[in-house]
Structure formats: C-alpha cells, structure tokens
Amino acid sequence: MDLSTDICGIELSGPVLNGSGTFDALAARRVFGDSLIEDFPFDCYVSKTITMNPRPGNPPYRLWETPSGMINSIGLPGPGLDGFLERDLPGLAGLGVPLIVSVMADQVEDFEVLVSRVATRDEVAGIELNVSCPNVHSGLIVGEQPSETEALMKALRPITEKPLIVKLTPNVANPQEVAVGAEAGGADAVSMINTVKAAAIDPGVNRTWLGVGAGGLSGPAVRPIALAQVRAVSASVGIPVIGMGGITDAESALEFILAGARVVAVGTENFRDPRAGSSVTEGLPAALGRRGFGSLAEAQAASLD
Ligand SMILES: Cc1cc2nc3c(=O)[nH]c(=O)nc-3n(C[C@H](O)[C@H](O)[C@H](O)COP(=O)(O)O)c2cc1C
C-alpha cells in the first residue's frame, strides 16, 4: 500500500515522524552504523530542541515511570546553536529523510536568530518552534497564550519561506485557541501534544522524585488527552496537524489520523523499542485495511461522527 504523503510541502515516503527529543539518531548511528540509515525508523526526523546556548539540562532525578507512561524533566540539555550547526547537523542531514529542526528561546530576538541561522542551511526542510515544553518556564508562557503565539509567529514568518511548525502544549484549557493564533501568525502546521504537566513523590523519602519538582507525562497514559485535543484543533484550523501522544503501534497511529492528524509522531515508545517507528509503518496497511480504508489518503480524508 502506498503510504506516501506530505506535511506542509515536505514530501514524505510515509506518515511516521519521531517526537522531538525521543530518538537520538546520532547515538543510534554510532551503535547501529549504516544499518540505521538503510532501515531508518521514521519518514522524517525531528531534532531534539535546540537553544541559543549550551545547556546542561535539569538536576537529577529526571525520569519517573508511571502506569502506562513516564514523567521526564530532562530540561533541554544540548550543545547550543553553534555546537548543533557545526557538530550535529551534518550527521542528521545524512539520515536519508527530511530533517525538521526544533528550536526554543525565552525571547523573540533569540527565536529570530535561531530560525534565521537554521533556515539558511539547505539540509533543513522545516523548523519546529517549541513553545510548549513544560520543563522550561519561558517556553510555557508563549504557548499558553494565543496572542503571544500569534505575535511570535508574525515576528518569525518573514524570516524564512521554509515551513514553520508550532508545537502546542496540552497544558491549557483550549489548545485550539492557541492553534488559531499560530495559524493567524502564519504557521504552516501545528504538532501536538507535548507532555502533560505531572509530578511524582519519592517512595522512600518525603520529597518529590524529580529534581525540579515536576515534569511532563508522556506515553499511552496521555493518548486519550492527545486524541481529544487533536480532534478539537484539527476542526479549528486549516493547517495540518502532526499528531502524537502515546502512539505505540499502527492502530494507535491510525487513531490519530482519524482524529484529524495528517501525519503522526512516535515518542516515548522509542525508548522501549528503537524500531517502534518501523513497526508502526509496517502495521499501517493492515490497520487501514481492517478499518475499511484502501489507502492512507482515504483515512486522512475521513471524518468521524
Ligand atoms: C524524554 C523526553 C524528551 C523530550 N524532549 C522534547 C524536546 O526536546 N522538545 C519537544 O518539543 N518535545 C520533547 N518531548 C515531547 C515529545 O516530543 C512528545 O511531544 C511527547 O512525549 C508526547 O508523545 P509520546 O507520548 O509519544 O512520547 C520529549 C519527551 C520525552 C519523553
């Protein structure tokens, strides 16, 4: 079955991306060598979120397993913009699939620098704007406010003709209002959901488990929340939605397509099975067939009662 599709002009051989920060392709390449490229699990690679300056990330602990999910407070460790462009980008450009680079800043001026320097690189097909990471205070502010999201988009839109994708936070009452703001500001797509604000208590000591007190929940536990939000947002905007949140297999991926997503992303499941993206793709023809679809496009065009 032909699974080829596109997301805001980026041609894809299939509808399966990775969620930003959930698949370290450079580390995987070091372990698996060229076999990773020959059988790359995703149809498009989304980088870990890049910030202006190098960051060590949050103090430990940073992970907590929950029933059907996990909480992380990784805190965006990374090499900063210069380190990413010099050291990481060449390797990511060699993965054999289109590359989307995720960026985040705590002020518009820094977002402008990030977008303009990343967009000038031919290897980059699109840019995702992380305005929703619940671990970094500044990211939350923009993504919680429709007007701030629209203003950010209006500042960034003139910088590049490359697709700009706004990653939405689920930690608002009405994500569709933020999506409408993103679209009004000129976004080409939205991706959703980021992690859901969450905390855990240390089982042995009377304190919070995570070093910074709270983090973001992901995995199958958040899937019903993500499906509801994808439905609401895709009904409210004309731009395409990249759907994610607890996808583990082809069936759950197809649920997101039926909820209104054009393409999907696999996140937390990659930690359990680095080939999860391939499993989703391999299972899609049968999953589509079981629901009576002859093609991916038929499912993308379907609407639910
Ligand atoms: C360990 C971890 C790190 C993440 N890092 C980022 C990140 O750097 N940027 C971002 O936009 N989202 C990040 N996310 C959120 C995921 O991309 C995704 O939106 C979320 O986990 C929901 O999908 P899932 O339930 O399939 O994991 C991270 C998630 C996890 C679990």
Give the tens place of pLDDT for each residue, 254-296. 999 999 999 999 999 999 999 999 999 999 999 999 999 999 9
Cβ neighbors of 162 (< 8 A, separation 6 or more) are 119, 124, 125, 126, 127
In this prediction, residues 168-192 reach a mean pLDDT of: 97
Q: Ligand 1 centroid to 292 CA: how many Å?
A: 32
Cβ neighbors of 272 (< 8 A, separation 6 or more) are none
The answer to whether the CB of 19 is under 6 A from ligand 1 is yes
In this prediction, residues 154-164 reach a mean pLDDT of: 98
Task: Look at the chain and report how many structural domains it folds into.
Answer: 1
The answer to whether the CB of 195 is under 6 A from ligand 1 is yes
Give the tens place of pLDDT for each residue, 197-208. 999 999 999 999
The reply to whether 209 falls in a domain is: no
Question: What is the domain range of residue 125?
Answer: 5-57+75-197+219-301
Q: Ligand 1 centroid to 133 CA: how many Å?
A: 8
What residue owns the CA closest to ligand 1's atom 12? Answer: 20
Looking at residue 303, its pLDDT comes to 81
Looking at residue 24, its pLDDT comes to 98
| Peptide bond between residue 45 and the one before it cis (omega within 30 degrees of 0) | no
Kindly indicate the confidence band of residue 137, based on its pLDDT and cuts at 50, 70 and 90.
very low
What residue owns the CA closest to ligand 1's atom 6? Answer: 21
Backbone dihedral angles phi then psi of residue 301, each to the nearest 5 degrees: -90, -10
The answer to whether the CB of 143 is under 6 A from ligand 1 is no
The reply to whether 211 falls in a domain is: no
The answer to whether the CB of 244 is under 6 A from ligand 1 is yes
Residues catalogued as catalytic: 133
Write down the mean pLDDT value for the chain: 95
In this prediction, residues 49-77 reach a mean pLDDT of: 96
In this prediction, residues 21-30 reach a mean pLDDT of: 97
The answer to whether the CB of 85 is under 6 A from ligand 1 is no
Residue of 16, 17, 20 to mutate, ligand 1, most atoms within 8 A of C-beta: 20
The answer to whether the CB of 127 is under 6 A from ligand 1 is no
The vertex-193 CA angle with 105 and 113, nearest 5°, equals 20
State the number of CA atoms in the 13 A half-sphere of 262 facing the CB. Answer: 20
Q: Ligand 1 centroid to 216 CA: how many Å?
A: 8
The reply to whether 214 falls in a domain is: no
Q: Ligand 1 centroid to 244 CA: how many Å?
A: 9
In this prediction, residues 220-224 reach a mean pLDDT of: 98
The reply to whether 212 falls in a domain is: no
Which ligand 1 atom minimizes the distance to the CA of 46? 17
Q: What SS3 class is residue 66?
A: strand
The reply to whether 52 falls in a domain is: yes
The answer to whether the CB of 102 is under 6 A from ligand 1 is yes
To which residue do tokens 């993206």 refer? 277
* Angstrom distance (rounded) from CA 245 to CA 231: 13
The reply to whether 203 falls in a domain is: no
* Angstrom distance (rounded) from CA 213 to CA 198: 9
How much of the chain exceeds pLDDT 70, in percent?
Answer: 97
Q: Is the pLDDT of residue 164 over 90?
A: yes
Q: What is the CATH number of the domain that holds 190?
A: 3.20.20.70
The reply to whether 292 falls in a domain is: yes
The reply to whether 275 falls in a domain is: yes
**Count of residues in the chain:** 305
Q: What SS3 class is residue 59?
A: coil
End-to-end Cα, the chain, rounded Å = 26
Rounded to two decimals, the pTM is: 0.97
Give the tens place of pLDDT for each residue, 74-107. 999 999 999 999 999 999 999 999 999 999 998 8
